[in-house]
């Protein structure tokens, strides 16, 4: 039976970052297997998002999201520069209307508590000077926000990991896992449908980075206290492409939704200069990647608050993403949950739950956080 020092389950951006981190810091004799159930890496949450590098403004002080976003932002900019990954520090305007200025003040204090000291206040005149088509009574400008080629980033992480000896197995789904005192026995299916073959192996350590399937995978671990597995509510986010000349050169965000479910339907500029709007927070639709054109009117209504001249006909359904969102008891969006043996009492196992936004920004910091687990090495 094959044995590995580490098995990473899930080749989204978090799993890829963990693979690259361990392969870069451990001896060459440390064997690592990275498994992914899909045909290719990053086909789910990691490739269906806004591709924004977040500054760390929104998240509660002291939370993992805040700490890992701020740390990960700097790690990500440095990595992209060092390895020539397409990215751009565009800057972001968080705009408020007359009834929302007080929320900007709260956001400014929250960002400062997270160590984000670069925010600047903009008046309505300042906003017009930067973005003539944006309506706002005031705004916060974040110069540290930007965009990144998420596919290029993930491909780089995978290539570096494989060059350092990581074995990568796509089309490999973990069926179940059994914990013992010495290792984990993992039963997987390699391939799809009738051509799938069973593959059983052992691993001394496991990182569950399965994203949308992280909680379901944890429920298939024999010996794990299932009370430690959080409840997940998959959140769908739709995007519409703006089929007209790009109206902005910066990222433009409204103030976040009052129930904290999302950051509001915002405008992002991709590396080709194309503008798209989204995501919304869609908890009622089917968990698929279809964008209902009927949502166009809702998008236009939300966008007009800060971009009055938007034409509804110019909003074209683009793509949708699914987020592995954890819900807090209060009903607000929960923090990342990174569990080790101090929580679930299985040495050698790290579970990554709820790695949604700002998971892309935080990915390299998440990898370092996993490697720092005291019981893991």
Could you report the per-residue pLDDT of 153-203, keeping only the tens digit for each?
Answer: 999 999 999 999 999 999 999 999 999 989 999 999 999 888 899 999 999
Find residue 179's DSSP bridge partners.
184
What interhelical angle do 359-371 and 13-25 show, nearest 10? 40
Spatial separation of the C-alpha atoms in residues 187 and 117, rounded to whole Å: 48
DSSP 172-194: EEEEEEEE-SS-EEEEEEESSGG
User: What three-state secondary structure class fits 126?
Assistant: helix
Give me the pLDDT at residue 241, please.
98
Statement to judge: residues 33 and 172 lie in one domain: yes
- Does residue 342 share a domain with residue 316? no
Instruction: Record the pTM.
Output: 0.96
CA distance 258 to 106: 12
Is 77 domain-assigned?
no
Residue 122's CB is within 10 A of a number of other CB atoms, namely 21
Does the pLDDT at position 131 exceed 60?
A: yes
pLDDT at 257: 73
80 found inside a domain: no
Considering the domain boundaries, does residue 105 fall inside one?
Answer: yes
Residues 211 and 245 in one domain: no
9 pLDDT higher than 90: yes
CA 151, CA 284: separation in Å to the nearest integer? 29
Q: Is there a single domain that holds both residue 96 and residue 238?
A: yes
Residue linked to tokens 């969006």: 333
Average pLDDT along the chain:
95
CA distances from 346 to 178, 202, 215 (A): 11, 15, 16
Residues 250 and 322 placed together within one structural domain of the fold: yes
Q: What share of the chain has pLDDT > 70, as a percent? A: 97
Determine, yes or no, domain membership for 163.
yes
C-alpha to C-alpha distance for 327 and 338, rounded to whole angstroms? 15
Helix spans in 34-123 (H):
64-82, 101-113
Say yes or no to pLDDT of 377 above 70. Answer: no
One domain, residues 190 and 317: no
> Under the phi-then-psi rule, with left for phi > 0, alpha for psi from -120 to 50, and beta for the rest, what region is 96?
beta
Asked whether residue 54 is assigned to any structural domain, the reply reads: no
Give me the pLDDT at residue 263, please.
84
Report the pLDDT averaged over residues 61-87: 98
In this predicted structure, what is the pLDDT of residue 195? 85
Domain membership flag for residue 134: yes
pLDDT tens track for 250-294:
999 999 876 556 789 999 999 999 999 999 999 877 889 999 999
Q: Are residues 347 and 301 in the same domain?
A: no
Q: Which residue range is the domain that position 239 belongs to?
A: 92-143+232-326
Q: Kindly report the CATH number assigned to the domain that includes residue 193.
A: 3.50.50.60
Residue 67 in domain: no
Q: What separation in angstroms does the CA of 109 have from each of 53, 95, 102, 106, 120?
A: 20, 16, 11, 5, 12
Q: How many domains does the chain contain in total? A: 2
| Cα(193)–Cα(75) distance, integer angstroms | 40
DSSP letters for 200-254: EEEES-EEE--GGGHHHHHTTEETS-GGGSPPEEEEEEEEEEE-SS---SSEEEE
Identify the pLDDT of residue 75. 98
Q: Is 73 part of a structural domain of the chain?
A: no
pLDDT at residue 149 tops 60: yes
- Angstrom distance (rounded) from CA 94 to CA 306: 10
Is the domain of 317 the same as that of 266?
yes
Instruction: Mark whether 311 and 242 lie in a shared domain.
Output: yes
Q: What is the tens place of the pLDDT at every residue in 96-113?
A: 998 888 999 999 999 999
> Do 222 and 178 form a contact (C-beta atoms < 8 A)?
yes
Phi, psi torsion values for 46, nearest 5 degrees: -65, -25
Task: Note whether 236 and 139 are same-domain residues.
Answer: yes
């Amino acid at each position: 039976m094959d044995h590995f020092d580490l098995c990473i389950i899930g080749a989204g951006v978090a799993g890829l970052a963990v693979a690259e981190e361990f392969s870069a810091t451990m001896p060459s004799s440390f064997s690592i297997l990275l498994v992914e159930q899909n045909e290719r890496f990053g086909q789910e949450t990691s490739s269906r998002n806004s591709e924004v590098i977040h500054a760390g403004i929104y998240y509660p002080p002291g939370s993992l999201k805040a700490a890992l976003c701020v740390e990960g932002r700097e790690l990500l900019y440095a990595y992209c520069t060092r390895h020539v990954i397409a990215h751009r520090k565009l800057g972001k305007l968080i705009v408020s209307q007359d009834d929302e200025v007080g929320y900007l003040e709260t956001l400014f204090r929250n960002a400062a508590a997270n160590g984000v000291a670069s925010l600047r206040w903009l008046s309505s005149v300042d906003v017009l000077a930067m973005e003539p088509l944006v309506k706002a009574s005031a705004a916060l400008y974040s110069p540290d926000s930007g965009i990144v080629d998420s596919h290029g980033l993930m491909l780089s992480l995978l290539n570096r990991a494989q060059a350092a000896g990581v074995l990568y197995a796509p089309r490999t789904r973990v069926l179940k896992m059994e914990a013992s005192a010495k290792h984990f026995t993992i039963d997987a299916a390699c391939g799809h449908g009738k051509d799938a073959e069973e593959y059983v192996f052992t691993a001394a350590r496991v990182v569950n980075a399965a994203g949308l399937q992280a909680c379901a995978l944890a429920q298939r671990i024999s010996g794990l206290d299932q009370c430690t597995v959080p409840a997940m509510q998959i959140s769908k986010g739709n995007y519409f492409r703006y089929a007209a000349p790009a109206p902005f050169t910066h990222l433009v965000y409204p103030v976040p939704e009052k129930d904290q479910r999302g950051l509001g339907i915002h405008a992002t500029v991709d590396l080709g200069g194309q503008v798209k709007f989204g995501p919304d927070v869609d908890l009622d639709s089917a968990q698929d990647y279809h964008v209902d054109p009927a949502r166009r009117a809702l998008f236009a209504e939300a966008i007009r608050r800060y971009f009055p001249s938007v034409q509804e006909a110019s909003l074209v359904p683009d793509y949708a993403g699914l987020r592995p969102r954890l819900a807090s008891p209060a009903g607000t969006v929960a923090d990342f949950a990174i569990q080790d043996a101090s929580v679930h009492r299985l040495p050698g196992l790290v579970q990554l739950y709820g790695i949604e936004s700002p998971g892309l920004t935080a990915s390299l910091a998440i990898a370092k956080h996993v490697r720092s687990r005291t019981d893991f090495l």
